[in-house]
Chains A and B, each alone.
Chain A
Amino acid sequence: MKKRLFAMFLILALVLCMAPAAFAADDEITLDVIICQYGPNTNEWFLGTGMNGTNFVEKFEAENPGIKLNLDVVSWNDVYTEVDTRIANNNAPDILNIDVFANYANEGLLMPVKDYCPEDLFGDFFPSFIDQSVIDGTVWAVPDLASARALFYNVDILNEVGVEVPTTWAELEDVSQAIIDYYDGEVYPWGIDMTTDEGQAAFAYYTWGNGGGFVDANGDWAVNSAENVEAIEYAIGLINQGYTNPNPATQTRYDLQDMFAAGKLAMVIAPNQLPTYVADKGGEINMATAGLPANEGKTSSSVGVMDRVMAFKDESAPDQAARNEAIGKFLKFFYDPENYVGWVSMEGFLPAVNSAVEALVAADPSFAAWLDVLGGCQFYPAAKAEWDQVKQGVIAAEQNALTGADVQAELDALQAELMK
């Protein structure tokens, strides 16, 4: 009788024991890599067959014997969850591709770039991009890729209504009203995205267009400046007057892009890869780009968004030098124009290294113009430690304002919290 019982336990014990057995240690270096999923091809590129029949991991491992890649492509929805959970368990990835870095750097989790990045590669990055990843004089991450935002508009709709592209806020309101009148509200004049994932972009578009911004001239947080309040009130005003997509708090960038591709949205601020996207969706939109509208007497500035690659410390690694070298090899391979150009152009992003420019411009001349735009772009102050808090704070302020809260009070509260 007892025998059967023991048999059952044996099975249980077996089940429990089998899993660790799957992990056998050996001499080669294994790098844990997390890549964010940018588009439908990312997964294919790194893990499937998207790289001329092979994939990034296979090709890398073939060229670099002794280094194994444990690479995961994670959707943007889950990547913070996964990374943070792994950090909490002292199991941070070796290499991470993500947008933020300040917290990781400030908490001493990252390695300085110079520890692992080969000199020649480091010199290849656009200096203005590298500047965005510096805290206290140390470079903590290297740029992965970038995108520039511009105002895209549907030429046919604007012509039909008989209006010009707006350059100031007041003009924007006029044009919007004209479009609303002409199409009886069937076409949304202006797209706004104040969702929990992207609302900080809206904050940047309007405050930067009013001479405000996240920080003041000294680089200190100044989210509640008079310019910012005016800018956000203006944006909320656009929504309340019915000039925009109806549900800005839940309509994401995807939704706006889709509406634009279907000719339902006349103007939208979007990343440079919008045309690729519209073509993917089968839209035939006669579109053009322009600078972002700014308030009267203020200059607009284009908005750049950059993602980064960073390497985490791992004290448990037996041979630190070998590990650093392996990370360097990974970066070398990653930014090798042969690989990098394909990766960047696949999703329509802009490059971060000089060596890729030539090939990219040759393949698509429109890149040159975008690279110019990128040169004059303003970036989020992601190197400041409180950036996460500010980002969520301004989004919350916008969303509260959408439901009728006072913008000044909301931003004051956020500023007070930041000053604590």
Chain B
Amino acid sequence: MRYPEVRQQNRKMLLLLITGLVLTLTLMSLPLCSFDVGVYTKKSGNTFVGDEKYQAARKEVEAIAEEYRGQGLDVEIHEDVLERVNSKGKTTSLVTFTVSQTFSRNVFSFIGCGFVSSAAAAILLGLMILAAVLTVLGLSGTEDVLHRYLDGRTRTLRSLAVTALVMAVCLVPVFILSNNVVFSRRLSLYSAELITEGREIFFSKLDRFFFDGGMGENIGDALQGLKLTASPLLWLMAATLFISLVAAVSLLRGEIRSGLLRGGLYVFVAVVCVITLYPYYVMTITAFRSNAETLDMYYLHMVPTKWIWSNLTDIIRRGVPRYLMNSLFVAGGATALAMLCGIPAAYAMARMNFRGKKAFLGFVIMSQMFSPVVLLIGISQLMNTLQLNNTLWGLMLINAAFNQAFAIWLLRGTFVSISSEMEQAAMIDGCGTVGALTRVLIPMAAPGIVTALIFVFINAWNEYTIATVLISTAQNRPITVGITQFSSFNMIEWQYMFAASLLATIPVVILFMSIEKHLTAGLTSGGVKG
């Protein structure tokens, strides 16, 4: 099977691919990254050009510049004067001297300097070469064959070549980003001595990169205002790489679309999962930070430098287990009660005809329309009358009541979706209605019931507002209220708050995850017929 058009097209693509690769390599050897290295900065407030303070500062700066020149650097002195007229009509000024030199480096020079970005550059180069080699290997005798008629080996080679190129393209931004991180942020942190860990190594690498190791010990003092300006050519490089990628993909027509879709799916799921987990990451990380590190104003540490496990023991000492037990009691009791009342009601709604059925449904839904916050006064008055103020029982009853609507709605749907034949058979066999319900229907409706159960449990576990008002002694607090003791008049103790939050969240999450499978099943039976 040979088609002249195919050959022509394949050749064009090949040509484009080669041009792209060559162009990228050329660009990489051009000086793409320029650095403005301020080896010394001096700021002088309340100083006027020409006055004593100015002269002194100027002299100091010139001496330092001279010293650097002696070391073979080609430094220049910049002077920046900022003048302000103050409220008394006096002019004040801030004079800033910078001694600086500019450097340019190409991508190749990064390789071997030992930074993160150097690794990215090296891998990028390696991948490009790999892609080129694989493409060549997969080329022989195939130039006028349509992709789908290729043999398996060639196909694999080409897929690999494309993968390598994709990865190379992805590495360009990584390279640029890591450059920024390393050179701007790390350097400023090291210069200000906000972190000292790894400072020596970092500076010795910088020394080798800029001065071929010539600055020795002084490098730390010298590099105060290092700024990186990535040349726009870098993006040009990314563009050419991208073009070669497109060419490579075109060489491999077919199969790519589904592959990309699949890749897109994974990327999407990964993004969703990362965003979802992010607050939990924050919670966990912060829970083990030291008090000072929770307020990391210079953004120094993504993870705690030291994991403070005593945060956990501290909150345990401060009553959190008690609160957890209270929550467990309230949520468990509320769930049991809600089910006990909800199952018969849902059964009646699903299986029986009676006057006022719709009215009851409306009544149930209406009961959900008021936010508990709004009902605070009413609820508290009621609890007073019933002598249930400041008791876990009161909280339990309230939670059970406020979750009736959801429980009934879900359970009714579940029961409706199950055929009533089995129960009828059971009833004919001599079971009463209750027997039919407990022996036949409930086992069959298990997924729906489990779902409703978990729902009520979680809602009750997470309830906060009513509990704050209803509970007035420490030993009766549920965990949601207990957590507030860590944000007091004088300070918020983020680490304790999040440690307690973690303890409050983990049981529920585990519970929820364990029924995840039933969850959809339960909602299916319950929801669709809703």
Contact = CB atoms under 8 A, between A and B. Distances in A.
A77 interface: yes
B469 A8 contact: no
Contacts of A40: 486, 488, 490-491, 493, 496
Interface residues of B, number: 58
A273 interface: yes
Interface in A37-86: 37-40, 42-44, 47-48, 70-78, 81-82, 85-86
Interface stretch (B60-68, B87-95, B157-165, B509-517): B87-95
B292 A4 contact: no
A258 B295 contact: yes
Main secondary structure of the interface of B (DSSP, over half): mixed
A36 B487 CA distance: 12
Contacts of A238: none
A78 B484 contact: yes
A12 B319 CA distance: 31
B101 interface: no
A39 B376 contact: no
A163 to B, nearest CB: 7
Given A8-B340, A11-B340, A89-B384, A78 B489 contact: no
Interface stretch (A120-128, A176-184, A404-412): A176-184
A174 B87 CA distance: 7
Nearest to B45: A162
A44 B496 CA distance: 15
Interface stretch (A19-27, A136-144, A228-236, A327-335): A19-27
A258 B389 CA distance: 38
Interface string A177-209: 110011000000000000000000000000000
Contacts of A77: 484, 487
A259 B298 CA distance: 11
B487 A86 contact: no
B295 A281 contact: yes
A20 B469 contact: no
Nearest to A170: B87
A75 B333 CA distance: 27
Contact of A182 (B94, B318, B380, B472): B94
Contacts of B433: 1
Contacts of B341: 12
Nearest to A183: B43
* Centre residue among A162, A170, A171 by max chain B CB count within 10 A: A162
Given A39-B490, A174-B87, A89 B380 contact: yes
Interface string B89-131: 0001010000000000000000000000000000000000000
Contact of A78 (B46, B340, B468): B468
Contact of A181 (B94, B333, B489): B94
A174 B92 contact: yes
A181 B88 CA distance: 18
A171 B474 CA distance: 49
Contacts of B438: 4
Interface in A333-373: 347
Interface in A107-123: none
A162 to B, nearest CB: 4
A282 B290 CA distance: 9
B420 interface: no
B473 interface: yes
A277 B138 CA distance: 69
A257 interface: yes
B489 A39 contact: yes
Interface in B394-446: 394, 397, 432-435, 438
7 contacts: A1-B434, A11-B340, A47-B474, A162-B46, A163-B45, A277-B490, A281-B295
9 pairs of A and B residues whose beta carbons are closest in the complex: A1-B432, A282-B292, A170-B87, A19-B393, A162-B45, A262-B297, A4-B434, A39-B490, A174-B86
Given A15-B333, A75-B488, 9 more contacts: A4-B434, A5-B434, A19-B388, A23-B387, A39-B488, A75-B485, A77-B487, A91-B389, A347-B490
